[in-house]
Structure 1
Amino acid sequence: MRYQNTYVNLDARLYHKQPPTPLDNPRVGHFNTQVAEQLGWAQDDDLMTRWVDIFAGHYVPAEFEPLAMAYAGHQFGQWAGQLGDGRGLLMAQVRDNNDKLQDLHLKGIGLTPYSRMGDGRAVLRSTIREYLCGHALTQLGIPSSNALGFVVSDTSVRRERMEAGAALMRVADSHIRLGHIEWIASFAPDLLGEFTDYMIDTYYPECRDSNTPVLAFLTAVVERTARMIADWQLIGFAHGVMNTDNLSITGSTLDFGPFGFMERFDPAWINNHSDHTGRYAYQNQPAIGHWNLNVWLTHFMRLEGVTRETLADCLAPYEATFMQHYQQGLCRKLGLPHEKESLSLAFEWLTLLEDNLLDYTNSFRALLGLVAPDEHPYEQQLLATMTAELTQEAQKAWQDWSIIYLAQLELVPFEQAVNDMRTNNPVYVLRNSMAQRAISAAEQGQFEEVDRVFNLLASPYDVQDIATELDTTPPNPNAPQMPISCSS
């Protein structure tokens, strides 16, 4: 691999250098060969032979320089003070096959100075969920951290019960969070200029071409974050814990805790059982993204040439960027051009889904069974299942809507419309029930279901033979969607 460990060269107050604490009797969980090829890991015999030992903290290659990052943050809207990598280490930074810098970050490695009341470990269930979700979002085309793989061990970890300790080698284009700047502002303000230069030169070098590179950088972060959250909304993804320490400066999804993919469509869905006020409900994610960025931006007023007015200009594109990306994506999901009539139809469609608690993923995909039934027998069956759930009144609304929709589609080349619908509406997302079946089997030492789900999610837009009926079956309409614990 092409190592480029740059973070370790920054001021030592920003991190704590330390090795991982090994897990007991580590064993193979799963390994992501695609990511290994992308990083150049697969071309290194030592890394391939000893990957279980590396992930479990038993072996640290000479080129690695493990460190725990310091950062802070606002959690559920309240200042939480110093946080940091409490159970993870930035092990190395490398240039991948596309010459893009990637972080190798090992999660579940034991105590660090930032562990607070934690034990520095991760349990198998949360490790599997993060591993599969990073993979799922990446294959859906949504910027996200991914992972090289994970191991399980005999190390016991207490959560609500005693569980098996695990470790995940996650890969992301950056692990710098909005909370890094919050930490600097509170504990080392003299580092703000140096750290801002590092972020620009490392992740946004194109901003150096601007007459005001800092403002260009801040605007770019705002716009990337807006597009990421629009992608979440389009696919029905709820992060669940959008604290400032869980948002990356690169606009890539980071830190999978109580996440969920929408099943029965309910915009007010709360997927985190600790979110008692619904702050991080699905429908609130765009507003929370704006709130987090607003908190983050104010710290840059310490820099020369940055004022409250210029920061307002940096934040201003957020809403327009989000709306444009979301509306364009929504129209593509329907195979329609981005125009007023299409958007009106799209929002009527979402209302139909919400009023009847229809499955978000299945219903969008089912439209192919309406538009091109002869070519899409699977989607025809989805359509039949969807319409069978409708009341007589809702059937009438569906018929009226579909007539107008098909007429609008005639304005678009047929193949283009079908292709847009196929490539923007997945057949498979990581439903909580899918993840739980894989976890239950893995806790019994059987990882075949993890592998099957991983392979299924590798091609989410294609109907696959390895799928089971349970992979696309939503919960009963009257059953509450499963909230997920932050405990991991």
Structure 2
Amino acid sequence: MTFGFNFETTYKNLSSHFFTETLPEKSSNPEIVLFNERLSDSLGLDKEALNSEGGAGVFSGNEVIGETPLAMAYAGHQFGQFTMLGDGRALLLGEHMHHGERYDVQLKGSGRTDYSRAGDGRAPLGPMLREYIISEAMHALGVPTTRSLAVTLTGDSIMREQPLKSAVLTRVASSHLRAGTFQYAVIESEEALKELTDYAIERHYPDFADKENKYELFLEAVIHAQSYLIAKWQSIGFIHGVMNTDNMAISGETIDYGPCAFIDHYDPATVFSSIDVQGRYQFRNQPGIAQWNLAKFAETLIPLLDEDQDQAIEIAQKKLNNYKDLYQTYWLTNMVNKLGIATPEESDVELVLEFLEILEKEALDHTSTFRALSLGHDSDIEVEDQETFDAWVKKWHTALENKEQSAEDASTLMKNINPAVIPRNHLVEEALFYAVKTDDLTKVEKLVEIFKDPYSDEHDEYYKRPPKEEEMIQNTFCGT
């Protein structure tokens, strides 16, 4: 039974050193605890058949459809230090074809591979539920992201600091090609690099395939995709937590939701990840880290950009120099849209920066404050420096009046870009606690349902309000 999957795995056409064929480890009693019917429908899958005991066999890895799954080899800079890596607990089931589009379907937490090193290849239930909740919320928020099709309990325990229930996440992505995949390839050989890059271009940017300068165009496209992605993160207050090069997908999708979180009270220096002791990946550093990652990616393409190394370096540097302006353009567009301005002008930069300064000085909640502006409730925003805030509101209203757009259009724009709810850290942690400690997934299911429509004001106030001081989450954990 295929369950509607139409696998055509082109990654296996690459040389064997790019992957290792591996069978998932067996699960003793697989049970689906979350299943994404919307995503299943969009992929043309048989949701009734999948959301069943038979589907649990597929999602746990007990039943393999088609060819043997594979673990990908890659490398990466982790917190600035380079290391050889690979899918230590993930397996690509196959590339599902639907309406001419190609989607990787991957099991995460399905057991050991050749790249597991000292790990057991399994994953605890909590982190897999977190990735499902947040990746689906990010999708609803309009952020490019990998998505979650299912979370399946294995029926087995794994040992971390204590015994934990293990689970497998079924993840869907346009591909799992990372900057780290290219870092791996260039170490293998120039031939391996060319093979991988040609494959990536054919898969993601086929219009470039016959161009003489296709490698230059490829680099440019990846820079554009990352500029757009990071600007979206910054506009909604999302902190990835582990922006290593192996966590930078060349597709421009957010990948690997480990110690991620959303800003509550606005502070650019916010760090949630318990392992980021130096604050390398704090909120305000994310745009710069993305540029650093892109530079490492560009370095891998040097042998392909030009036969003359100096010329190749010049081409790469020129493309990288565009990142700052690209990011600034995407960021400004997002931010002025959040203030109801459809088309940004240079003068709007000051308006945005002044408001962010107020958010920071007043320790205002990022999400609920922007939503209050969207609803015309600026008078309800409580601040200590009322004079400065009132002056900004007056300046903002004047800016809106001077634009060639109606007040109604401005309001609609704001309501469609400023969410009423986000996966607030205290809510996510509360839901995960109940799921892991009491087997009660009610709170998880509630969050998943709410985040299908994050722009609705009909949600209970409990899910919209910022947390009380004692509820605020200061640290998040990778939990692998």
TM-score by length of 1: 0.92
C-alpha distance in structure 2 between counterparts of 1:470 and 1:273, whole Å: 27
Residue 23 of structure 1, CA deviation:
2.2
Aligned 1:65-464 pairs, distance under 5 A: 65-80=68-83, 82-97=84-99, 99-208=100-209, 210-303=211-304, 305=306, 307-336=312-341, 337-370=343-376, 380=377, 384=380, 386-387=381-382, 390-391=383-384, 394-411=385-402, 412-443=405-436, 444-464=438-458
Provide Cα deviations, 1:41-94, integer angstroms capped at 9, x if missing partner.
226847866211111121112x243100010110001112x1100000011101
**Paired residues of 1:363 and 1:383 also in contact (CA < 8 A):** no
Residue 128 to residue 193, structure 1, CA distance change in 2 (3 Å): same
Task: Choose which of 2, 7, 18 in structure 2 pairs with 1:14.
Answer: 18
C-alpha distance in structure 1 between counterparts of 2:357 and 2:191, whole Å: 51
Look up the match of 1:31.
35
**Paired residues of 2:40 and 2:149 also in contact (CA < 8 A):** yes
C-alpha distance in structure 1 between counterparts of 2:411 and 2:216, whole Å: 41
**Paired residues of 2:179 and 2:250 also in contact (CA < 8 A):** yes
- Please tell me whether residue 60 in structure 1 is matched to residue 64 in structure 2: yes
Look up the match of 1:376.
none
C-alpha distance in structure 2 between counterparts of 1:125 and 1:44, whole Å: 26
Residue 190 of structure 1, CA deviation:
2.8
Q: Aligned partner of 2:85: which letter?
A: L
C-alpha distance in structure 2 between counterparts of 1:18 and 1:479, whole Å: 43
C-alpha distance in structure 2 between counterparts of 1:448 and 1:270, whole Å: 29
Residue 480 of structure 1, CA deviation:
6.2
C-alpha distance in structure 2 between counterparts of 1:47 and 1:289, whole Å: 38
Residue 166 of structure 1, CA deviation:
0.5
Residue 43 to residue 481, structure 1, CA distance change in 2 (3 Å): closer
Structure 2: runs of 5 or more not aligned: none
**Paired residues of 2:375 and 2:411 also in contact (CA < 8 A):** no
Residue 447 of structure 1, CA deviation:
1.7
SS of the equivalent of 2:41 reads helix
SS of the equivalent of 2:375 reads helix
SS of the equivalent of 1:4 reads coil
SS of the equivalent of 1:151 reads strand
Residue 304 to residue 397, structure 1, CA distance change in 2 (3 Å): closer
Q: Aligned partner of 1:67: which letter?
A: L
SS of the equivalent of 1:195 reads helix
**Paired residues of 1:357 and 1:477 also in contact (CA < 8 A):** no
Q: Aligned partner of 2:253: which letter?
A: S
Look up the match of 1:468.
460
Residue 40 of structure 1, CA deviation:
1.6
SS of the equivalent of 1:409 reads helix
Q: Percent identity?
A: 34
C-alpha distance in structure 1 between counterparts of 2:471 and 2:42, whole Å: 41
Residue 55 to residue 478, structure 1, CA distance change in 2 (3 Å): closer
Q: Aligned partner of 1:55: which letter?
A: F
**Paired residues of 2:340 and 2:414 also in contact (CA < 8 A):** yes
Q: Aligned partner of 1:317: which letter?
A: N
SS of the equivalent of 1:41 reads coil
Greater shift in the superposed pair: 295-304 or 279-288: 295-304
SS of the equivalent of 1:28 reads strand
Provide Cα deviations, 1:126-173, integer angstroms capped at 9, x if missing partner.
001101111011111110000111112331122232211010000011
C-alpha distance in structure 1 between counterparts of 2:74 and 2:391, whole Å: 53
Provide Cα deviations, 1:164-192, integer angstroms capped at 9, x if missing partner.
10100000111011001111122344311
C-alpha distance in structure 1 between counterparts of 2:50 and 2:418, whole Å: 40
**Paired residues of 2:339 and 2:374 also in contact (CA < 8 A):** no
Residue 131 to residue 277, structure 1, CA distance change in 2 (3 Å): same
Q: Aligned partner of 2:418: which letter?
A: N
**Paired residues of 1:104 and 1:170 also in contact (CA < 8 A):** yes
SS of the equivalent of 1:163 reads strand
- RMSD of the alignment, in Å? 1.8
Residue 4 to residue 475, structure 1, CA distance change in 2 (3 Å): same
C-alpha distance in structure 2 between counterparts of 1:442 and 1:479, whole Å: 18
SS of the equivalent of 1:233 reads helix
Q: How many residues align?
A: 468
C-alpha distance in structure 2 between counterparts of 1:248 and 1:70, whole Å: 14
Greater shift in the superposed pair: 199-208 or 168-177: 199-208
Q: Aligned partner of 2:391: which letter?
A: D
**Paired residues of 1:432 and 1:482 also in contact (CA < 8 A):** no
C-alpha distance in structure 2 between counterparts of 1:185 and 1:104, whole Å: 26
C-alpha distance in structure 1 between counterparts of 2:87 and 2:74, whole Å: 8
Greater shift in the superposed pair: 47-56 or 280-289: 47-56
Provide Cα deviations, 1:311-333, integer angstroms capped at 9, x if missing partner.
11222221111100000110000
C-alpha distance in structure 2 between counterparts of 1:64 and 1:38, whole Å: 23
Residue 477 of structure 1, CA deviation:
5.4
TM-score by length of 2: 0.94
Provide Cα deviations, 1:364-423, integer angstroms capped at 9, x if missing partner.
0000232xxxxxxxxx4x862x31xx22xx111111111121222223311210111011
**Paired residues of 1:8 and 1:65 also in contact (CA < 8 A):** no
Greater shift in the superposed pair: 278-287 or 208-217: 208-217
